């Protein structure tokens, strides 16, 4: 019966996303998390949508349309094989993390995931980038998301609800490539880690905003590792990816911890997961241990080896009892922050709405309208391919300006939600600093733990437990 809430949550999310209308529209095989895109003045749109917006201009010089530089999406049966491999990898990862508790086996699975989901599949379909497809399908009913992309988005979330962040442990190729180069990890101070992690929430909010308005898929556009997976790409992205890997030599998974928008969702679901990594007896439910799904040492000797071995700062140390004065100060600070929380959310939301003229330029129609206006006003020399294509349609410029104005209005409303979300997260983080959770042993934090298994290999009581099982 204890599993019922988790099953209800999973079924509700699945039914909400796989609606009959959405499934009926999921007939186009080229829709993937990183679809083959045409570009209209820098805007990434599906090929058919690009043709609907602006017909190709007529060229009299024998112009030949260039072939796309990105690989064609996997079709038909291959996509379903990818989904089955993902499902199998998630199941194996959960077994290795919670039952086998083997760092070497988890690392081997991560290497396989890097080779298959990364280099063999060239980073597509991607669970991280699938966020944008799901958002766009919600706000644009003409956009269809196939079942395979839904599977890549939902399966890691469902497994996280039951088993913690096993997707991050050995299945995600983005995490695996960073783990592979980690040589001399340094510890990031808790205050700095909390501040840097706020960027991931900002990135998630911006990705939702731009995907909902049909402007851009910024997660895919600025994926630092896709150029490595495809062995080609923009020089700027290659530089970005190389910089992230260089930092990863000393900082454990910086992209996963401080940037990844999908990790933000997994982080919150892991807080309520059914089973998690345990290194101390205080966090183990005897009824769960009896199932054989998870277990751990029966005693913590507080040797701190697990804390030293974790490169992600996910091990929480025992806490001392609060004094009367500390409790009083913390209580007053918590009350003040709770009062200021809505003020902070509204103020940052207002600031986000005022950025409409900046954020709206991410949309191709807004950029086109601005360019056409400058050309008509004589403030810009020459023309662009996009403006030429627009004028060839015979569409009135007033209609184009009206469409751009409507899009700016959407960014005004979206800016309120985006800013309010960022302000709310910042306020909740401050409130979290005022809370104090009592611990008597060293424990793996449910949200921050990436289930890499390093703490298993360093715990002397874990080695004694394994030896006892073998005997």
pLDDT of residue 52: 39
Phi/psi at 298 (5° precision):
-90, 5
Q: What is the pLDDT of residues 302-356, one digit of tens each?
A: 888 888 889 998 888 887 766 667 667 777 888 888 888 999 999 999 999 999 9
pLDDT of residue 294: 53
Q: What confidence tens digit (pLDDT) does each residue in 11-33 have?
A: 344 334 444 344 334 333 333 33
The rounded mean pLDDT for the chain is: 80
pLDDT digits over 208-240, tens only? Answer: 999 999 999 999 999 999 889 988 878 889 999
pLDDT number for residue 19: 44
pTM above 0.75, yes or no: yes
- pLDDT tens track for 364-389: 999 999 999 999 988 888 889 999 99
Cα-based distances in Å from 181 to 123, 175, 253, 313: 19, 11, 9, 18
For the chain, give every domain's residue range: 4-47+76-282, 324-434
Tell me the per-residue pLDDT of 155-166, one tens digit each, with 9 for 90 and over. 999 999 999 999
91 versus 435: the higher-pLDDT residue is: 91
Higher pLDDT, 393 or 283: 393
State the pLDDT confidence band at 44, using cuts at 50, 70 and 90.
Answer: very low
Residue 141 contacts residue 25 (beta carbons within 8 Å): yes
Q: What is the pLDDT of residue 296?
A: 65
Q: Print the SS3 string covering 150-203.
A: HHHHHHHHHHHHHHCCHHHHHCCHHHHHHHHHCCCCCCCCHHHHHHHHHHHHHH
């Amino acid at each position: 019966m204890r599993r019922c809430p988790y099953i209800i949550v999973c079924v509700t999310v699945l039914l909400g996303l796989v609606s009959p209308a959405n499934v009926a529209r999921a007939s186009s095989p080229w829709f993937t998390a990183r679809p083959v895109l045409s570009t209209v003045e820098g805007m990434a749109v599906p090929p058919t949508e690009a043709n609907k917006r602006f017909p190709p201009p007529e060229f009299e010089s024998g112009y030949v349309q260039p072939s796309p530089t990105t690989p064609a999406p996997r079709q038909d049966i291959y996509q379903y094989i990818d989904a089955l491999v993902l499902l199998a990898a998630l199941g194996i990862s959960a077994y290795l993390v919670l039952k086998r508790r083997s760092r070497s086996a988890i690392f081997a699975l991560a290497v396989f995931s890097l080779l298959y989901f990364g280099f063999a599949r060239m980073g597509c379909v991607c669970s991280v980038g699938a966020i944008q497809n799901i958002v766009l399908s919600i706000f644009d009913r003409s956009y269809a998301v196939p079942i395979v992309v839904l599977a890549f988005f939902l399966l890691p979330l469902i497994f996280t609800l039951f088993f913690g962040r096993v997707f991050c442990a050995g299945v995600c190729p983005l995490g695996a490539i960073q783990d592979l180069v980690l040589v001399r990890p340094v510890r990031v101070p808790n205050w700095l880690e909390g501040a840097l992690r706020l960027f991931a929430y900002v990135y998630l909010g911006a990705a939702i905003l731009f995907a909902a308005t049909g402007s851009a898929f910024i997660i895919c556009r600025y994926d630092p590792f896709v150029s490595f997976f495809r062995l080609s790409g923009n020089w700027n992205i290659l530089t970005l990816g190389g910089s992230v890997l260089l930092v990863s030599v000393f900082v454990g998974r910086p992209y996963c911890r401080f940037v990844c928008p999908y990790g933000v969702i997994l982080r919150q679901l892991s807080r309520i997961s059914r089973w998690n990594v345990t290194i101390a007896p205080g966090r183990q439910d005897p009824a769960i241990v009896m199932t054989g799904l998870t277990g751990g040492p029966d005693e913590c000797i507080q040797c701190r080896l697990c804390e030293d071995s974790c490169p992600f700062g996910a091990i929480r140390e025992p806490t001392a009892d609060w004094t009367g004065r500390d409790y009083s100060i913390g209580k007053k600070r918590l009350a003040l922050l709770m009062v200021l929380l809505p003020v902070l959310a509204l103020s940052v939301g207002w600031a986000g709405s005022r950025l409409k003229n900046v954020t709206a330029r991410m949309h191709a129609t807004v950029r086109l309208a601005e360019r056409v206006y400058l050309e008509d006003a004589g403030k810009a020399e020459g023309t662009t391919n996009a403006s030429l294509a627009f004028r060839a349609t015979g569409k009135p410029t007033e209609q184009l300006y009206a469409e751009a104005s409507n899009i700016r209005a959407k960014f005004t409303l979206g800016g309120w939600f985006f800013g309010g979300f960022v302000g709310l997260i910042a306020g909740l983080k401050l409130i979290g600093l005022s809370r104090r959770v009592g611990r008597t042993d060293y424990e793996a934090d449910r949200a921050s733990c990436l289930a890499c298994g390093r703490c298993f290999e360093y715990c002397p009581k874990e080695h004694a437990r394994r030896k006892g099982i073998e005997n």
